[in-house]
Amino acid sequence: MKKKQGLSRQYDSIIQDQLSTEIIEKVDIHYTEGLVHYIPHHAVISPLKITTKVRIVYNASAKTKREVKSLNECLYRGPVLLQNLCGMLIRFRIYRIDIEKAFLEVGLQPRERNVTRFLWLKD
Domain positions in the chain are 7-116
- Predicted confidence (pLDDT) per residue in 91-118, tens digit: 777 766 566 566 666 778 888 888 888 9
Distance CA 23, CA 1 (A): 23
Q: Are 41 and 54 in contact (CB under 8 A)?
A: no
- The answer to whether the predicted template modeling score (pTM) of the entire model surpasses 0.85 is no
Which of 121, 120, 116 is closest to 37 using CA atoms?
A: 116
Residue 84 clears pLDDT 80, i.e. is over it: no
Which of 87, 30, 39 is closest to 61 using CA atoms?
A: 39
